[in-house]
Amino acid sequence: MRTPSAIPERVIPCLDVRDGRVVKGVSFANLRDSGDPVECAMRYEAEGADELVILDVSATDEGRRTALETVRGVADSIFIPLTVGGGVKSVGDFRALLRAGADRVAINTAAIANPQLIAECAREFGVQAVVLSVDAAPASGERRAASGFEAIVRSGKHPTGIDVVEWCKRAEMLGAGEILLTSIERDGTSDGFDIELLRAVSGSVRIGVIASGGAGTLEHFRDAIEAGGARAVLAASLFHTRRLSIGEVKEFLAAEGIPVR
Ligand code: 0VR
């Protein structure tokens, strides 16, 4: 169970961006156009978002260059903290995103390939700027994973056999300031966050865990915090389709006794 804290929990909308447009799919597939990034960002800030995450899910280098322009446009249009991830491979990529206006940068596949990248970025830019993004799935078949979950890289396509809990503990030691933990199976389904996954990681590290993947009802957000131990809750589909607003989520969490800003 979550230890009561006075620090407000954060509600964070996520813009998955490809070629300059917001996209959304299910379990990282069948991506459909979901609008203009700057318009979405400004709407979410007006609704009371505590922070915004932009995830560049472009597949090409051309798409990555467009993503930098998207980050600049969004960063110039909002005041809330902006975290950007997707395709970050080096300290240089990290720096370019900070220069484009990101406050924090999320590293995923490249950190698995080179864990020292976490330490280098934490040394260069500060622990508070470094978010480790982990896409997780139940460990398949013969793969070892003490926690039962393994890290999947390259947009959900490549199982690594690396235990998610062990990886998050190591990343914390290396200098990650927070963990963005996405359940691939739940992504886009509105079936709820993976509470078992969240609890396994949040009970093993001191840094905050951002729950991601599957948000569908008000209760899902409460459960991710209360039962999953998440310090922040992220959603994309639910907010893009306007089934719930960020304000409604924050009002519900406050009514449940969870401190929100
Ligand atoms: P929902 O709130 O369930 O829509 O999902 C939130 C979160 O999981 C997604 O915004 C994001 O993590 C999905 N990620 C990726 C991707 C989406 C498309 C292609 C690739 C990726 O590599 O993370």
Give pTM, 2 decimals: 0.95
28 lines ligand 1 (CB under 6 A): yes
Q: Where are the beta strands (DSSP E) in 70-177?
A: 82-85, 104-107, 130-138, 149-153, 158-163
State the Cα–Cα distance between residues 252 and 249, nearest whole angstrom. 5
Q: What is the pLDDT of residue 191?
A: 98
> Backbone phi, then psi, for 158, in 5-degree steps?
-125, 105
Q: What is the pLDDT of residue 4?
A: 58
Q: What is the pLDDT of residue 236?
A: 96
Amino acid at 148: G
State the Cα–Cα distance between residues 230 and 214, nearest whole angstrom. 14
Q: Widest CA span of the chain, in angstroms?
A: 48
The residue whose CA is least distant from atom 17 of ligand 1 is: 28
85 lines ligand 1 (CB under 6 A): no
Q: Is 135 a catalytic residue?
A: yes
Task: Please tell me the chain's helix, strand, coil percentages from 3-state DSSP, rounded to the nearest 5.
Answer: 35, 25, 35
Average pLDDT over residues 125-145: 90
180 lines ligand 1 (CB under 6 A): no
Distance in Å, CA 14 to ligand 1 centroid: 8
Q: Which of 50, 135, 163, 194 is catalytic?
A: 135
Q: Tell whether the model's pLDDT for residue 186 goes beyond 60.
A: yes
Ligand 1, atom nearest to 85 Cα: 23
Q: 40 and 22 in contact (C-beta within 8 Å)?
A: yes
